[in-house]
A and B are shown apart, each in its own frame.
Chain A
């Protein structure tokens, strides 16, 4: 690949993001921006912004790579990432908007009237955010290496520094329109190349693998590992409920009803978006099967346009996907760093502006160290594990807190710690344990199907044993969550 294209595309997106960030410093200085936004932002804009923040390296590069690598099992990833918003709609969107909570720790503290529940939730949010940023930085490393030939660490460091700098300067905060723009940029950066590639393929240019080799039934929908698929779905459907950077966006809806309509639009936008990484993956199986064997599967989206479209047009399409990928890393990471910095500065550093800046740098640097120290696994798989951890820890508390008046602070804390220990042990210690006991390997690689129910049961049992400590304000709080805002409409 011509490195000049890579440099130009990455520099353009980085400079644009930095400029928007610093411009944002002027327009988003006060909390009253949220008030303004909550009156004026339309569901359509809000939904685009949620999509812009949500679609990360895993969606942009990882899904196509995983389809190339493992076949139709990978098609469940985009289904789960999308249907997570269905669960959000059914159980969380409207009540959480009405709660007035701005972060998940705010919600647990208000619901359970317990600063300890808040602290445990904050720690989990920070851990989840850090481990969600790691694959973004690894995606950046891959993209920079493929696009420019520079060593991998350059990409991780560049994204971490840009994000930390922009967020610490105060930009990227509450700028709904920027994130909304990012969604449409990412969609364009995948959709245009897909249509171009389909056109080239239809006009009969390169030789494809015959269908039987490209799409063998052994990798097809007829040959599922049922446990793994079910467990992955549990993780993705429920994990989406607890993602720290997405919740903030619901706040800019004027009321619970608008939150529901926004979520419905998000579902539509994601459904359209995921057609394109899927198309990339299917094209890759037919036209670039060699990438699966060289360990470069996640680079499929970046490499395929240059392979199939010769000359200048190929270069332009490549520049577009590189720019889109970089936009994905920057927008998701900055959304996460903003939410993490908010939680860290509120809970540990007294909530000052200076504290926020220190927290922003810490939020970007810790995952950078992890990303540099670890060998990158597949992007979609790594993010899937973060979803499994979120589903086992924050999701039970969120769901029971919204729908069950019997939840107590002790029950919530016990459930969160149980879920964190079990899913954390399965994710981190999985390789070592399954080497000793081979039969448990799927259980450890996709733990959500058993860790989520256990976390829920522990939460419920401890809360029942502790029923004398049901918060006094629970009825008022629950009615605030569920009663519609307006008298009549």
Chain B
């Protein structure tokens, strides 16, 4: 990052978030609410893989997060497309009006938002579950190492 780039202007201060320290292998859960900035700031990744097995876990976490992202995106796209096709192929919806507005217009105006919200809510849980699985795997891996 910047520290390793001689060409970058040296005086720039990158605003970085307060982070937890690197995950010490045998450390218990956080002991308090205080969060410390990582020493060395941007130049040091706080979760640099410490061993091959950790690297495998991280790669599998990235793969599974990408997989659920793509699955949910595809699900949303397919469902939206089917919805639009169904509206287009049902001319009766153009004739039937509620308060003077054809139902096909009303459905297109409000129909996709609940779908997007549902997909998003399920995804948030799935992504957190992936991370929880990673955490328990990597803690297990740490304990098995001498």
Contacts and interface: CB of A to CB of B under 8 A. Distances in A.
A75 B134 contact: no
Interface string A466-481: 0000000101111110
Contact of B17 (A211, A251, A267): A251
Interface in B58-110: 58, 61-62, 65-66, 69, 72-73, 76, 80, 84, 87-89, 91, 93-94, 97, 100-102, 104-105, 107-110
A229 B89 CA distance: 16
B15 A102 contact: yes
A315 interface: no
A417 B105 CA distance: 40
Given A38-B17, A102-B14, A484-B134, A224 B88 contact: yes
B120 A100 contact: no
B105 A271 contact: no
Contact of A211 (B42, B102, B113): B102
B44 to A, nearest CB: 8
16 contacts: A35-B17, A79-B112, A87-B73, A91-B73, A100-B17, A100-B19, A102-B15, A110-B2, A115-B8, A215-B102, A229-B84, A251-B15, A267-B116, A484-B134, A487-B27, A488-B29
A338 to B, nearest CB: 13
Contact of A351 (B12, B87, B94, B110): B12
Contacts of A282: 101, 105, 109
Given A75-B108, A113-B4, A115-B7, A90 B100 contact: no
A217 B91 contact: yes
Counting chain A CB atoms within 10 Å of each CB, which of B17, B49, B123, B134 scores highest?
B17
A403 B124 contact: no
B49 A479 contact: yes
B61 A89 contact: no
B48 interface: yes
A115 B5 CA distance: 8
A222 B8 contact: no
Contacts of B88: 221-224
B112 A83 contact: yes
Interface in A111-141: 113, 115, 118
A413 to B, nearest CB: 15
Counting chain B CB atoms within 10 Å of each CB, which of A109, A350, A476 scores highest?
A476
Contact of B18 (A38, A86, A351): A38
A387 B62 CA distance: 28
Interface in B9-34: 9, 11-20, 23, 27, 29-30
Interface string A193-232: 0000000000000001001001101001111100001000
Contact of B97 (A35, A85, A211, A263): A211
Counting chain A CB atoms within 10 Å of each CB, which of B2, B20, B116, B119 scores highest?
B116
Contacts of B16: 100
A220 B107 CA distance: 11
B91 A109 contact: no
Contact of A220 (B17, B46, B104): B104
A346 B8 CA distance: 10
Contacts of A208: 100
A91 B47 CA distance: 20
Given A100-B42, A264-B121, A75 B109 contact: yes
Given A34-B15, A115-B8, A222-B88, A485 B20 contact: yes
Given A39-B35, A403-B66, A487-B30, A215 B135 contact: no
A106 interface: yes
Interface in A340-374: 346, 350-351
Contacts of A274: 113
A261 B113 contact: no
A161 B52 CA distance: 57
Contact of B45 (A75, A91, A473, A487): A473
B76 A86 contact: yes
User: Which 4 A-B pairs give the minimum distances between C-beta atoms?
Assistant: A271-B113, A476-B45, A480-B45, A483-B47
A275 B111 CA distance: 11
A477 B101 contact: no
A94 B116 contact: no
Contact of A91 (B69, B105, B110): B69
B46 to A, nearest CB: 6
B47 A479 contact: yes
Contact of A79 (B20, B91, B102, B113): B113
A260 B135 CA distance: 18
Nearest to B91: A222
A131 to B, nearest CB: 26
